[in-house]
Amino acid sequence: MKILLVEDDQALAEALKRALEMHGQVVDLITDGAQALAWLNSEHFDLIVLDLGLPGLDGMELLREARAGGHQMPVLIITARDAVPDRVAGLNLGADDYLVKPFELDEFLARVRALYRRAQGRGSDAVELGPLVFEGSKRELRHGDHVITMTPRETALFEVLLQQVGAVVTKQQIGDSLFSIDNDAQLSAVEVYVHRLRKQLAPYGLSIRTVRGLGYMLEKPE
Q: Does 28 contact Ca ion by CB under 5 A?
A: no
**Shortest approach of Ca ion to residue 128 CB, angstroms?**
42
**Shortest approach of Ca ion to residue 75 CB, angstroms?**
16
- Answer for the pair 131, 143: CB distance below 8 angstroms, yes or no: yes
Q: How far apart (Å, rounded) are the C-alpha atoms in residues 206 and 219?
A: 7
Residues 3-22 that bind Ca ion (CB under 5 A): 8
- Answer for the pair 5, 29: CB distance below 8 angstroms, yes or no: yes
Q: Is the dihedral of CA 82, 66, 116, 51 positive or negative?
A: negative
Determine how many CB atoms are found less than 10 A away from the CB of residue 119.
Answer: 15
**Which of 53, 94, 130, 152 touches Ca ion by CB under 5 A?**
53
Is the Cβ of residue 28 or residue 51 nearer to Ca ion in the bound state? 51
**Shortest approach of Ca ion to residue 149 CB, angstroms?**
39
Is the Cβ of residue 4 or residue 197 nearer to Ca ion in the bound state? 4
**Shortest approach of Ca ion to residue 15 CB, angstroms?**
14
Is the Cβ of residue 77 or residue 197 nearer to Ca ion in the bound state? 77
Determine how many CB atoms are found less than 10 A away from the CB of residue 211.
Answer: 12
Is the Cβ of residue 8 or residue 32 nearer to Ca ion in the bound state? 8
Q: How far apart (Å, rounded) are the C-alpha atoms in residues 117 and 163?
A: 11
Q: SS in 3 state form for 104-172?
A: CHHHHHHHHHHHHHHHCCCCCCEEEECCEEEECCCCEEEECCEEECCCHHHHHHHHHHHHCCCCCEEHH
**Shortest approach of Ca ion to residue 5 CB, angstroms?**
12
Is the Cβ of residue 8 or residue 219 nearer to Ca ion in the bound state? 8
Pattern 153-192, Ca ion, x by CB under 5 A:
----------------------------------------
Burial of 176 (0-12, 13-18, 19+ CB in 10 A): buried
Is the Cβ of residue 24 or residue 53 nearer to Ca ion in the bound state? 53
Q: Does 51 contact Ca ion by CB under 5 A?
A: yes
Q: Does 56 contact Ca ion by CB under 5 A?
A: no
**Shortest approach of Ca ion to residue 30 CB, angstroms?**
12
Separation of CA 55 from chain center? 24
Listed residue (120, 101, 191) closest to 159, CA to CA:
120
State which residue has the least CB distance to Ca ion: 53
Residues that bind Ca ion (CB under 5 A): 8, 51, 53
